[in-house]
A and B are shown apart, each in its own frame.
Chain A
Amino acid sequence: MWAFINKLRSPKWFYAIGARLQPFFWVAAAALILVGTVWGLAFAPADYQQGNSFRIIYVHVPAAFLAQSIFVSMAMCGLVYMVWKIKVADMAAAMMAPLGAAMTFVSLFSGAVWGVPTWGTWWMWDARLTSMLILLFLFLGVIALRGAFSSRDSASRAASVLAMVGVINIPIIKYSVDWWYTLHQPATFSITGRAAMPMEMWAPLLIMVLGFYSFFIALTLMRTRSEILRRESNKRWVRDLAGEKR
């Protein structure tokens, strides 16, 4: 455990290990998303109530899952950065935030598109959509706070604290929004209701979720590696690296 943490202290080590892991996750992401898309769109049966429009679930749900996981990972990176002062963790957190906001937006947008055939409107104050909207604001807050500081070290710490505060609040927000939604009892059903889904429907969904996660890991590795180069550009090993490739 300690040896691993000490290794993580070195951005150089992460840069090297990231280079080895990255291709694996890119291939996995491409394969899983391809299989999931073809299976979900062409072979999975249509929903008996919603027809073919339900197939948007194969984008909506993975994006929503991923967005929430990204916030949690961001907070975990923040904790690691604050406790062990591991800079790579902060770089990863900084790189995750825009991706998380983008994923939240994708899930909101796909939810809105889905709303048209289901509810006949682009927006409904559905419990899940509302929670996702709040999550989007949380992401934007973390990004804005990081951008507001002139000192990068302070920006990193502030963003870490906010991400941790946010992650404690996410379950509370989710629970209270669900409560709020059931109290007001709108006359519609939730788009991703808990109806039992046959295997032919959820198997491609699972594949898509895994594909999205692989994509996230691959992209974060890539972006963190380039961030390492940017921040460490005055370090010896980066200069050696640049000289080597020239």
Chain B
Amino acid sequence: MTLSLQARKLACERDDRWLFEDLDLDIQAGEIVRIEGPNGSGKTTLLKILSGQLADYQGELYWNGAPMREARQAFLESLLYLGHAPGVKGALTPLENLTWYQALAGQRDNEAARLAALESVGLVGFEDVPAGQLSAGQQRRVALARLELTPRPLWVLDEPFTAIDRDGVAALEERLIVHARAGGCVLVTTHHELRNTDELRRVHLGRGGQSHGGF
């Protein structure tokens, strides 16, 4: 599995304010890239651009060497994005939620795979409980089950550790490293301090020297 996501001279202006300018990024297979920066430095916006949601940027993006505008279909087929909101319907059970995601990914209906995915995130016994009755952390786990359910090389995760208990955080962090070692690639923003491993790389956003210090 080889993959590369490159950004050249990436810049984003929102309402006449430059969130970032002249950003060059090279993201390769086997990497965990953590986007860092103070609040309002454009971390989420950068993730939205890099996950192809926001077309409102200057500069160029390349997916496996091809310009993003041409490679969009192939890119979306390799991408798994988890945003701030987990994307889990409260009125549906975890199993039903995953059914939809499985189909959106273009996979055939496969209940065994869904059950296995739920088991991997520790939700055995909750398969048929409406997700609205689960805790915030459990709902987040339903979303994280998609990492197992629909294998994709590129993971873009915006604050994936939110609301998850300590064991879950350790397991997820381990999962990210395993994914990177297997040739996948993870782009992540988080307030949680990630363990320093060979795979981890940090990209710092922020306006010059202002990014340090308190308020």
Contact = CB atoms under 8 A, between A and B. Distances in A.
Contacts of A232: 16
B16 A234 contact: yes
B17 to A, nearest CB: 9
Contacts of A151: 14-15
B142 to A, nearest CB: 30
Contacts of A153: 14-15, 56
Contacts of B14: 151, 153
A153 B45 CA distance: 14
Contacts, number: 10
Interface in B126-157: none
Contacts of B16: 152, 231-232, 234
Interface in B9-32: 14-16
Contacts of A152: 15-16
Nearest to B14: A153
Nearest to B58: A85
Contacts of B15: 151-153
A234 B16 CA distance: 8
A232 to B, nearest CB: 8
Nearest to B13: A153
Interface in B95-121: none
A153 B56 CA distance: 9
Interface in A99-155: 151-153
Main secondary structure of the interface of B (DSSP, over half): loop
B5 to A, nearest CB: 23
A152 B14 CA distance: 8
B207 to A, nearest CB: 14
B1 to A, nearest CB: 35
B10 to A, nearest CB: 16
B57 to A, nearest CB: 11
B59 to A, nearest CB: 14
A132 B51 CA distance: 45
A165 to B, nearest CB: 20
A153 B54 CA distance: 12
Nearest to A232: B16
B49 to A, nearest CB: 14
B172 to A, nearest CB: 32
A151 B56 CA distance: 13
Nearest to B17: A234
Nearest to A85: B56
A5 to B, nearest CB: 17
Contacts of B56: 153
Interface of A: 151-153, 231-232, 234
10 contacts: A151-B14, A151-B15, A152-B15, A152-B16, A153-B14, A153-B15, A153-B56, A231-B16, A232-B16, A234-B16
The 7 closest A-B pairs by CB, nearest first: A152-B15, A151-B15, A153-B15, A153-B14, A231-B16, A234-B16, A153-B56
Given A151-B14, A152-B15, A232-B16, 7 more contacts: A151-B15, A152-B16, A153-B14, A153-B15, A153-B56, A231-B16, A234-B16
